[in-house]
Structure 1
Amino acid sequence: MTEIKQSILTKVIAKRKSNTHKGNYGRILLIGGSENYGGAIIMAAEGALKSGAGLVSVACHSINLNALHARDPEVMYVDWRSSDLPQLIKNMDVIVCGPGLGATPFAQKLLLQLGQVVTNQQTLILDASALDLIGQNRSLAPQNAKLVILTPHQMEWQRLSQIRIPYQTDAANLTALNKLFPGQNAILVLKSNHTKVYTSNKDVFVNPLGNPGMACGGMGDTLAGIIGGFTAQFGGNIDSVIAAVYLHSLAGDLIAKDEYVVQPTKISALLPKLMLKFVD
């Protein structure tokens, strides 16, 4: 097991060159946000936006449009029932699916559609409801992405892997990850008080940061968005993932010095200034 060090931020976060444009920093689509859980997809999108993704789009229920654009006008919107969605998915570098998605038959249809069109050139991040749906029906697990990143908390991982929380050992988690996505490049970000990151190559990383003030709704949605932003900009690889995990907790720890509760939206707000400190 390897402890994630702060030096990963300097290694991953690159200084932006003058002759670049928004397309150079990744196209990311986030799918989720049902009638009752629009906040989840908005917080995930804000994590992607504030961590530097070049172009951020959200496919969600139309009821969330006004809130999304009032909060983050930089984010593009598509109705998740649009016939244009499959083509939009194909045009992305990174897809995040799950925050606020829900467990309806339509949510299942969206996940199935995603699995049918995602390509071996894309990074796919599965979070929250998407993981629960796959836990109920393994055939919904997309198999064609270049890199699959799972971001469950321990109870979601229990439902997906069938490993009860007390028995979620490193060996058991690695076995389950490779069973879920056999022969694929896969990463498991298992969220807890000290999040662990597992790769299909059997590497294990542990995040030393984090605090109980971060035990707040939307924290995981925000992390999924930040991981999306980092993989869109800096590449779909383990360094980008563990850097995103570390930065998320580092921001949370800084906020916790002055505040009892760490709001996920405050983590996102802090990212642009915090990232600048680690540009080599």
Structure 2
Amino acid sequence: MSEITEKILTKVIKKRPSNSHKGNYGRILLIGGNENYGGAIIMVAEAALNSGAGLISVATHAVNLNALHARDPEVMFIDWRDRNLLNLITKMDVIVCGPGLGTNSFAHQMMFTLCQNVSPSQTLVLDANALDLIGQDPKLIPTNVGLIVITPHQMEWQRLNQIRIPYQTDSANLSALKKIFPIQNVILVLKSNHTHIYTSKEEILVNPVGNPGMATGGMGDTLAGIIGGFTAQFGGKLDSVLAAVYLHSLAGDKIAKMDYVVRPTKISAILPQLMKQYADKG
């Protein structure tokens, strides 16, 4: 096991060349936010936007349109019942699915459609309800995708593999990852007070930063958005994920110096400034 260090940020975050455009920084699709949990996918979108993703589309319940565009007008919207969604899925570099998705029959069908239409050139980030659905039906695990990043908290991980939280040791987590995703290139970001990252190559890394002020709703949605934004613009690889995890907690630590509670939306708000600092150092 090794610790993620601040060096990962200067390694991954680079100055943007003058001759570039939004298409150079990744096309990302976010799927989630039913009629009761629109805030989840909006926080994902805000994190992806502020972490630098070039083009962001959100597939969500139609009731979320006004709130999404009032908060983040830079983000594109598609009704998740629109037939054009299937065509959009095939054009993305990164897809984040799960926050606020729900676990009803429609959500199940959405996951089935997604896993049948992703490709080896894409990165798929699965969080929250997407993982609950896989726990209910392992047939929803995609097998034809370049990289899968799963981002459960410990209870979601328990629901997925039946390992109770006190027994989620490094060896048990690696074994479960191999069993659930036997042939895929997978990264497990297991969220806790010090998040652990596991890979299908049996690498184990721990995130040393973060604070208890971050124990609030929406924090995981924000992390999923940052991971999506980083893999979209810096590539679907382990370093991109590690940098996203570290920056998310580092931002939380900076806010916690002044605030008792760290709001996820405040983390998203300071990402551009932090990324500028590390791009200038690189």
In which range does the TM-score fall when normalised by the shorter chain? over 0.9
User: Displacement of 1:92 after TM fit?
Assistant: 0.2
The C-alpha deviation readout for 1:174-210, integer Å capped at 9, x for no partner, is: 1111111112110000000000000000000000011
Correspondence 1:38 to 2:38: yes
User: Displacement of 1:213 after TM fit?
Assistant: 0.4
User: Displacement of 1:144 after TM fit?
Assistant: 1.2
User: Displacement of 1:14 after TM fit?
Assistant: 1.0
The C-alpha deviation readout for 1:62-88, integer Å capped at 9, x for no partner, is: 000000000000000000000001110
Alpha-carbon distance between aligned partners in 1 of 2:144 and 2:177, rounded to the nearest angstrom: 16
Match of 2:223 in 1: 223
Correspondence 1:98 to 2:93: no
Alpha-carbon distance between aligned partners in 2 of 1:21 and 1:179, rounded to the nearest angstrom: 41
Match of 2:241 in 1: 241
The C-alpha deviation readout for 1:36-67, integer Å capped at 9, x for no partner, is: 00000000011100000000110000000000
Structure 2 letter corresponding to 1:45: A
Report the secondary structure of 1:277's partner residue.
helix
Match of 1:200 in 2: 200
The C-alpha deviation readout for 1:210-250, integer Å capped at 9, x for no partner, is: 11100010000000000000000101011000100000000
Map 1:73-112 onto structure 2 (within 5 A): 73-112=73-112
Correspondence 1:118 to 2:145: no
Alpha-carbon distance between aligned partners in 1 of 2:154 and 2:28, rounded to the nearest angstrom: 26
Structure 2 letter corresponding to 1:210: G
Residue segments in structure 2 that go unaligned for 5+ positions in a row: none
Structure 2 letter corresponding to 1:79: D
Alpha-carbon distance between aligned partners in 1 of 2:68 and 2:277, rounded to the nearest angstrom: 29
Match of 2:29 in 1: 29
- Percent identity, aligned pairs only, is 71
Alpha-carbon distance between aligned partners in 2 of 1:276 and 1:228, rounded to the nearest angstrom: 18
The C-alpha deviation readout for 1:1-45, integer Å capped at 9, x for no partner, is: 010000000000011001100000000000000000000000001
What TM-score results when the alignment is normalised by the length of structure 2? 0.99
Alpha-carbon distance between aligned partners in 1 of 2:141 and 2:13, rounded to the nearest angstrom: 31
Report the secondary structure of 1:255's partner residue.
helix
Alpha-carbon distance between aligned partners in 2 of 1:40 and 1:153, rounded to the nearest angstrom: 15
Structure 1 letter corresponding to 2:111: L
Alpha-carbon distance between aligned partners in 1 of 2:225 and 2:161, rounded to the nearest angstrom: 23
Match of 1:131 in 2: 131
User: Displacement of 1:141 after TM fit?
Assistant: 1.3
What RMSD, in angstroms, separates the aligned Cα atoms of the two structures? 0.5
Match of 1:3 in 2: 3
Q: Which range is displaced more, 262-271 or 180-189?
A: 180-189
Alpha-carbon distance between aligned partners in 2 of 1:44 and 1:274, rounded to the nearest angstrom: 18
Correspondence 1:251 to 2:251: yes
User: Displacement of 1:143 after TM fit?
Assistant: 1.5
Alpha-carbon distance between aligned partners in 2 of 1:71 and 1:53, rounded to the nearest angstrom: 17
What TM-score results when the alignment is normalised by the length of structure 1? 0.99
Match of 1:151 in 2: 151
Alpha-carbon distance between aligned partners in 2 of 1:57 and 1:108, rounded to the nearest angstrom: 21
User: Displacement of 1:162 after TM fit?
Assistant: 1.2
Match of 1:67 in 2: 67
The C-alpha deviation readout for 1:91-143, integer Å capped at 9, x for no partner, is: 00000000000011000000000011001110000000000010011111112
Alpha-carbon distance between aligned partners in 1 of 2:43 and 2:183, rounded to the nearest angstrom: 32
Report the secondary structure of 2:166's partner residue.
helix
Report the secondary structure of 1:183's partner residue.
coil
Residue segments in structure 1 that go unaligned for 5+ positions in a row: none
Correspondence 1:58 to 2:66: no
Match of 2:214 in 1: 214
Alpha-carbon distance between aligned partners in 2 of 1:222 and 1:235, rounded to the nearest angstrom: 19
Alpha-carbon distance between aligned partners in 1 of 2:255 and 2:129, rounded to the nearest angstrom: 28
